[in-house]
A = this chain, B = another copy of it.
Amino acid sequence: MVNDKMVNETMETRIREVAQELFFKQGYAATSTTQIAKEVGCTQALVHYYYRTKENLFRQIFLEQIEAALNVISRSLVSEESFENFLRSAISLYFDTLMQNPRLPYFVLEELVSNPERRKYLREHFVKKPGYVMLYMQLEARVKAEQQAGRLAKIDAFDIMMSVASLTVFTFISLPMYQDLLSRTDEQVREFVHHRKEEVTRLVLQGVRA
C-alpha cells in the first residue's frame, strides 16, 4: 500500500480534510460546500449529510485547530530553564510548529477578527478555563521574580506575550505577500522564515534584558 492514510480514509474525514484546506486558503465566506464537494469528488448533499451545516463543519475544524494551538502554547509555558532559555525555546517552538502549518495564523485570525460570534464562542470555551488562567499567572509571577533579580527590564508579562505573538504570527501572515510581491521561490520563503526566527529571538532577548 503506497498510502495507507489515503486508502483507509472515509468520506467523512476526506470531506473534513478538504474543507480545512479550503477554509485555510480562502476563509469561511469565500468557500462553498459545493466547492468542497467538487474537490472531494462527491455530491454537495453528502457534505451536508455528514455535517448538516457549513457553519457546523467549520466550527469543528476551527475548535480543533484552536485547541491544538493552545496546547502548544501551554506546553511552552512550563519550563524549568532560565528565563532567557525559556524565551528562546518558546519562540523556536512557535516558529517550527507554524512552519508545518503556515496558513493557520491567518485562518484563526480571519475568523476571530471578522466574526464577533466566534470570539464569544472562544471566550466561553477557553479563555475562562481555569487552566489557562493559572498558566498566565505563573508566567506573571516568573516575570516579576526575574525583574526583582535584576535580570529583566520593567515589562509586563502581557507585553512580552504580545510582542512575541506579533513577531511570530505576522511573519506567517505576511508570507504570501513576501513571496508574491518579491517573487521568491518556496525555498527562499523557508530560508526567510528561518532567518526571521533567528532575528526575532535576538530582538526579543536583547529587548527584554535589564
8 Å CB interface, A118-171 against B: 119-120, 122-123, 127, 153, 155, 159, 162-163, 165-167, 169-171
Residue-wise interface mask of A (94-118) relative to B, using a CB-CB cutoff of 8 A (1 in contact, 0 not): 0000000000001001101110100
Contacts of A169 in B (CB 8 A): 166, 170
Residue-wise interface mask of A (168-210) relative to B, using a CB-CB cutoff of 8 A (1 in contact, 0 not): 0111011011001110000000000001100110111011110
Report yes or no: A123 in contact with B181, Cβ–Cβ below 8 A: yes
Chain A binding surface SS class: helix
A30 CB–B CB distance under 8 Å = yes
State how many copies of this chain the complex holds. 2
Report yes or no: A176 in contact with B113, Cβ–Cβ below 8 A: yes
Distance of A173 Cα from B116 Cα, bound (Å): 14
Report yes or no: B112 in contact with A110, Cβ–Cβ below 8 A: no
Distance of A167 Cα from B164 Cα, bound (Å): 9
Report yes or no: B159 in contact with A199, Cβ–Cβ below 8 A: yes
Of B106, B162, B177, the contact of A119 (CB 8 Å cutoff): B177
Q: Range of interface residues on chain A?
A: 35 or more
A26 CB–B CB distance under 8 Å = yes
Of B29, B167, B180, B209, the contact of A120 (CB 8 Å cutoff): B180
Contacts of A208 in B (CB 8 A): 203
17 A-B interface contacts by CB (under 8 A): A25-B114, A27-B27, A29-B30, A113-B173, A113-B176, A119-B176, A123-B180, A153-B202, A159-B199, A162-B170, A162-B196, A162-B199, A163-B200, A166-B174, A203-B203, A203-B204, A206-B209
> Chain A: residues with CB nearer than 8 A to chain B?
25-27, 29-30, 106, 109-110, 112-114, 116, 119-120, 122-123, 127, 153, 155, 159, 162-163, 165-167, 169-171, 173-174, 176-177, 180-182, 195-196, 199-200, 202-204, 206-209
